[in-house]
Structure formats: C-alpha cells, structure tokens
Structure 1
Amino acid sequence: MESTPDQAKAAQLLLQAYETGTPIAPLTEQFDGLTVEDAYAIQLAQVRTWTEGGRRIIGHKVGLTSLAMQKQLGVDQPDFGHLTDDFAHLEHQPIPLDTYLQPRVEPEIAFVLRKPLTGPGVTVTEAIDAVDYVLPALEVVDSRVADWKITLVDTIADNASSGGFVLGSTPTRLEDVDLRLTGCVFTRNSQVVGTGAGGAVLGSPITSLVWLANTVGALGTTLEAGHVILPGSVTSMVPVAPGDVFTATFGGLGSVTAVFADK
C-alpha cells in the first residue's frame, strides 16, 4: 500500500531522527487529523525502508499493555511495533548509549514461537500451542519524539517507541509456569526500582500475544516461527544513565541483565 504524502513525510521525519540523534516535535502537532490507521502506515513505511536496507524482522512487541504504562503515557489501549535483528543485545555486553535518543528500560516475559500464528481469529489455546518457550527479557524503549511527549498516534508511528532488547538464557516451557502469577523484581544498580507480575500485562501475557496475532493478522502480517514476541512491561519504565546496570528477576524464570556503556 502506497503512503499518502503526509504519511511519507512523517515517516521521513522519524527516519531522520534516528540518523541525526535529534528528537522531533510530536507528529500530532505537525500534521492535523492523524489517525491510528495513519500511524501504522507511517510505522510500516519505516519498516519497509529498514528491510530494503538489509535489516531483518525477528519479532514484534506489544506496548502499553499495563495500567501502569498506560497511566505513565496517558493512553488507554495497546499498540505494537516491529523488532529488527539489530535491536537484539547480549546480556552483560555494554549497550552503546549513542544508539538511543532518550532510552528507558522495562522488564518483560518474552515468548519465542515454535510455529506461526496468523490472525484474525487466533484463540488462547492456539496461541499457547504456538509458543515454544518463554524467557526473561528487558526491553529498551526509546522515543524519537522530544521529551516523550507522545499520544497513542505518536508512539504507534514511532514503531511503538521500540529501541532494543536483551533476552535471558533460561528457557521455560509454558506448562511449567503460571505467567499471570509470575512475580518480577526490577533493579537498577542493585536498587529496586519496580516490582510487578505477569498479570499486569492485560491480565496475562498470553492475552497480549492473542491481541497481537489478531491485530497484525488483520493487516496481513503473520507472527513467524522463531520470532520473539515482547508482550508488554510488568512495571513502569525507568530512565537510563551512562553505566547503568538493570536486572529483572522473575519467579520461576530466572533473571536477565542489561549493561549500558559508561559514556
């Protein structure tokens, strides 16, 4: 689908923000009447530019799934974004801060799929059957919009404020854990900055996976086998400073640590 002139211009502004490292004013202040449909078109225009340049889609993220996150950003529904191969960072390896504009970190329970999910019409049982295992994860969220001054439309257009992620290395089968009751302690430099549980994510991270499969399916996208799905944060997001070390410890799932470069 071809972008409208406004959609193409908005996508270009966001792509330039990545290149220059300079955030832009909210798109909703620059373009009158932008809709959620426009925002996803703007997101997909950027994704096409990335994939044409050789980047690979390796999964999706769902954002704004917890009441805490919705309150923090003043929105009332989830959204989704694309994860590319260069978003993935290794545990304990310093993450360059110059990769980001205004990064924040949040803990999540990541799904890895063993078979595709194609919506609409995906059920909870089908989603469960498609999951290979779960992993503790930390997502690096970022905004190309100055001062995180975003509406739902702004964050959707900006690839759901995606930035990067770190996965833990302890896979767990779904049948071995109740994701709703899985608790998390989130620390920054050994100080607790948040606690939560899987139930904060739309009642269960599985619900988020179903929502995603059906939402992207209606747009012609399939969640592919082997893809990583980040279903949403179990706490509020926390800003990053040089040298920060974040760890999320999940009951029954193990822990994951993200280290940021000191400059």
Structure 2
Amino acid sequence: MTDSLYRQLADEILQARAQVRAVEPFSTRYPQLNMADAYAIQSRVNQQRFAQGQRLVGYKIGLTSEAVQQQLGVNEPDFGVLFAGMELRSSQSVPTADLIAPKAEGEIAFVFKKDLTQADLTFSELLSAIDYFQPVIEIVDSVVRDWKITIVDTVADNASSALYMLGEKFFDPRGVDFADLALTIRGPAGEVSGRGAACLGNPLNATWWLARKMAELGTPIQAGQLVLSGAMAPMVNITAGAEIEFDFAGLDRLKLIAD
C-alpha cells in the first residue's frame, strides 16, 4: 500500500468526524488492507491531530473479548490513542450532536508513576508501576456506517474511540482483585452487567499486553499517562436525552447524560 492512500483515508476519517457523517467501510472498498495498513492510517490521523496542537495523554485498548477477537479473526487486542480534548468529567454531558453513532462501555483506567520502557516488561514490574486506578466510561463511535466494521476499519479509526469520562474518585491498586470487579449498566434499554474477567480474563492482562506492545513499537507508556483497559460489560447505545448509570460495585457510580 502507498503513503498517498494512507493519507487519503486519514483525511477521509478526519473530514467524516468534522462533518459528523458516516462513510462506507474501508475494508470493503480496499479489501487488500491489513492490520499494518490500518495502524499506518491511524498514525497519519494522529499526525494531523498533533499538527493541530492536540496532546497525547494515553491509550485505549479494544477487542479485549476473546469472543469478539474470534468473530473478527484476530488473536490479540487493538489500541488507539487518547488526546486531552477527549476527556469529560462526570459533571459534563455527552455532546451527541458531535458524534455519529455513539455507544458507551464501562472500564477500569490505570495511571502510571513511571515510564514502561521494557518490551519484556514483567507482570510484577507492571504492578509496581501503577500509581492508581479509576472507573471510567469510554464513549466509542465509528465513522463506518452502521458499525459494519472489521478489524481494519476500527483500527484505522483510532480503535473507534471518541471520548472518555472519569469520575471524581481514584483508588489504590494494591490488593484489588480486578478480575472480580463488578459493573452494572442501567439505561433506557434495560440493564447489562459484567466483571473485570471479561477483559482478557483481567484488566491487568490487557494493560500488560499494551505496555509491552507500545515499548516494542518505540512509543512506551509514560508516567502520568492513562490506559483504558477494555470493556467489562457489553456496550450500550447512547441517544440524545438518555441517562445511563454505570455502577462499579464498591467503587463508584458514574452517570452519563447525553445532550
């Protein structure tokens, strides 16, 4: 594939976001695209965002469900980047008019107190590097019409990440069984629930994978950066006027209010 095609598709993603309109799947129009191509497109999008003055503050992990990985024919998660302008506080509403087809996921976010530079990072080194964790709502959105995505489509589109919402509380990770953390989501469509084990068996497993992957790519996770570790329960649709509660049992309750 050529750099000109990567830049063409990156421009298309940015324009679709700016105009709040869906496009046809890249994977259908360019069936030759593979994962490496998709990350190259994502990189071109990020380059333009950096040029606009946007600031990198962390990463998100996607495809942490083994069932979804099998469905899309991949054997590892994917990742996208978080920019400072993507952050919402729990007191802020979600601007649905600026989004194409938003959905929400409940996750655990980790923040680190030192850089994770080793491609062979051990699990114990990962644990010792965590500063604190927070429950978080990730607002995902796709430029691809009707969410008819393949792995190529979602990776090119920043792993379908749009915004994220943090609560006011943060927690010490020591002694926490992250696999057993429970989440209940209540909204207009009813109630869904899940646990940390839905995220590659444990949110720490997904975070460990990302830390090693980013070090291998030469862009290691840095101190103070945020990592969204992946969905604990099925994602739910966001519609204008909706109120959705994310009850992280024993930790925090976050309420998403959509404009």
Scaled by the length of structure 1, what TM-score is found?
A: 0.93
User: 1:192 offset after TM fit, Å?
Assistant: 4.6
Residue 6 of structure 1 corresponds to 5
- Is 1:205 the counterpart of 2:203? The answer is yes
Residue 149 of structure 1 corresponds to 148
Residue 230 of structure 1 corresponds to 228
Question: Tell me, what secondary structure is at the counterpart of 2:120?
Answer: coil
Q: Distance in 2 between matches of 1:171 and 1:69?
A: 30
Aligned counterparts, 1:233-252, within 5 A: 233-252=231-250
Deviations 1:163-202 (CA, angstroms, capped at 9, x unpaired):
101011221111142101111111115x752111111111
Residue 99 of structure 2 corresponds to 100
Deviations 1:202-221 (CA, angstroms, capped at 9, x unpaired):
11111111111111222211
Q: Distance in 2 between matches of 1:159 and 1:255?
A: 27
Identity %: 35
Question: Tell me, what secondary structure is at the counterpart of 1:175?
Answer: coil
Q: Distance in 2 between matches of 1:44 and 1:217?
A: 16
Q: Is contact 1:75–1:151 with CA below 8 Å preserved after alignment?
A: no
Scaled by the length of structure 2, what TM-score is found?
A: 0.94
Q: Distance in 2 between matches of 1:254 and 1:116?
A: 28
Q: Distance in 2 between matches of 1:32 and 1:74?
A: 14
Q: Distance in 2 between matches of 1:5 and 1:74?
A: 27
Q: Distance in 2 between matches of 1:83 and 1:186?
A: 23
Question: Tell me, what secondary structure is at the counterpart of 1:6?
Answer: helix
Aligned counterparts, 1:56-205, within 5 A: 56-67=55-66, 69-70=68-69, 74-76=72-74, 77-189=76-188, 192-205=190-203
Aligned counterparts, 1:24-43, within 5 A: 24-43=23-42
Q: Distance in 2 between matches of 1:253 and 1:132?
A: 17
Q: Tell me how many residue pairs correspond in the alignment.
A: 258
Q: Is contact 1:245–1:260 with CA below 8 Å preserved after alignment?
A: yes
Q: Distance in 2 between matches of 1:102 and 1:166?
A: 17
Letter in 1 for 2:3: T
Gaps (5+ residues) in structure 2? none
Structure 1 residue runs of 4 or more that deviate by more than 4 Å after TM superposition: 68-71
Deviations 1:7-48 (CA, angstroms, capped at 9, x unpaired):
111111111111111111111122241111111110011111
Gaps (5+ residues) in structure 1? none
Q: Is contact 2:194–2:234 with CA below 8 Å preserved after alignment?
A: no
